Amino acid sequence: MKDQSGTIVGIDWSADSHTCYDLKADKSFKIPDSVKGYERLLNDYPEAVFVIEEANNRIGDYLLTNKREVYVLPPCRSKEARKYHFSSGAKSDSLDAKAIALTFKEHPSYCLKARYSGVGAKITKLVTMYSIVSKIHSQQCNRLYSVLLRYFPEYLHIMDKQYRSNTSLRILSICPTITEFKKVSNEELRKILNKENYRMTSILRKKLDRIRSEGISWGDTSCEGNLIMFLANQILTLREEQERLREEMGETLENSPYRIILSIPGVKAVIGSYIVKAYLTHDFRSYQEMQKYAGTIPFLFQSGRKSIMLMRKKCDKDLRNMIHIAAFASLKTCGWARNYYKRKRKEGKTYGHALRALGNIILKIAFSMLSKMKEYDETLFLNAKGIKTTQQNNTIIPEAFTNPEYSQDAHPSLAATKDVVENLNVT
């Protein structure tokens, strides 16, 4: 990190222009969102430290590709900084840029150093696209549920959880209303589904017959039918795009040195891409910084005599969700993870708390692997923790470690998972 007495430029970015604040000269200025604007900033401030809200933006990428020192401040932090530095509640782009610069000067630990790499840039784009597609998919599934509940509840109740399956959605795209259902027989549906590699099981046949017999026609119009058909087709299209992105993520990781991340239990292409993206785009100085960024460790809230441990919300929530999924997936394939989870549950921890604790260990392993560029080896990992085992996936974790440790800002009562030895050896 450069001397804090140097020039610090806070940037409040937007779609059309970016408001910058020179903390040393105490002045603000705007630059357009164009190459000319970026070059002007580089020419005027050749040695400055740039601080910007963390987000997907072109100005940050441009500064990094030109080898400038860039730090990112999470948006939630910048909002707090504005309230802290400007208690009047006034809000403007120049005040936001100034608050960002002041936060870096007074609390540099709140900011993370950004970095740029070719593989990291590609993985970042894939992760961003996957997040967007996944959120739209979730929204459209919720909309379909609401529409079916209003206009076609029999289908929803009889199909139960199966209504979201690909086969069920394809049937809805063919027969979106009870009127259409009664016009098409099971045999006709089977022929259509077989052409598109969908299966019609005997259980599905019985459910479709029940829908025809129990369904009530309320004078269906083309409006609700077209809406259901549109939503079903869109969800299927989004799932195809998700699968394509998964394959591309897998190929990108496999063709890069970071394919080692896939050797961690419970980590596949999507989860691995999220972890690698976070590692490559931020210069984490320790595994604790990465854990804080992912929100897998709690923080201690104190006010007067009151102190309480809370779940960390100022984090990358997408990464936190992926680590949560990885922890859950590891329970099926990894013995030490399963036993560690059971031990946490016996200690009285909730389901989510136990998974976050396990995810915290997985994230530390990932950081160690990516730092040393070595693959995961479960035997060495267990030996480093002092656990003897004869079977790789059937380990027994003792009730307590000899020297238990905890995350640096976590309360011991939470046993918040710094129980992996400090010098973790991973090969």
pLDDT at 74: 75
CA distance 382 to 336: 8
User: What are 116-167's pLDDT values in tens digits?
Assistant: 878 888 898 999 999 999 999 999 999 999 999 988 888 999 998 888 999 9
Q: Which domains does the chain have, with CATH numbers?
A: 8-116 (3.30.420.40), 121-250 (1.10.287), 257-414 (no CATH)
Q: How many CB atoms are located within 10 Å of the residue 38 CB? A: 19
Could you tell me the mean pLDDT of each successive run of 10 residues in the chain, 427 residues long?
66 88 90 91 91 79 88 75 70 85 86 83 91 95 93 90 90 90 89 89 91 80 88 96 95 92 92 93 88 86 82 85 93 90 92 90 92 85 61 40 32 33 34
CA distance 266 to 32: 44
Q: φ, ψ for residue 386 (rounded to 5)?
A: 80, 25
Whole-prediction pTM value? 0.78
Q: Is 269 helix (H, G, I), strand (E, B) or coil?
A: helix
pLDDT at 367: 93
CA distance 362 to 267: 9
CA distance 145 to 166: 15
Handedness of CA 44, 46, 51, 56 (dihedral sign): positive
pLDDT at 220: 65
Which residues pair with residue 32 across a beta bridge?
17
Using CB atoms within 10 Å of the CB of residue 427, give its burial: 0 to 12 exposed, 13 to 18 middle, 19+ buried: exposed
pLDDT at 415: 32
pLDDT at 78: 66
pLDDT at 401: 32
pLDDT at 307: 84
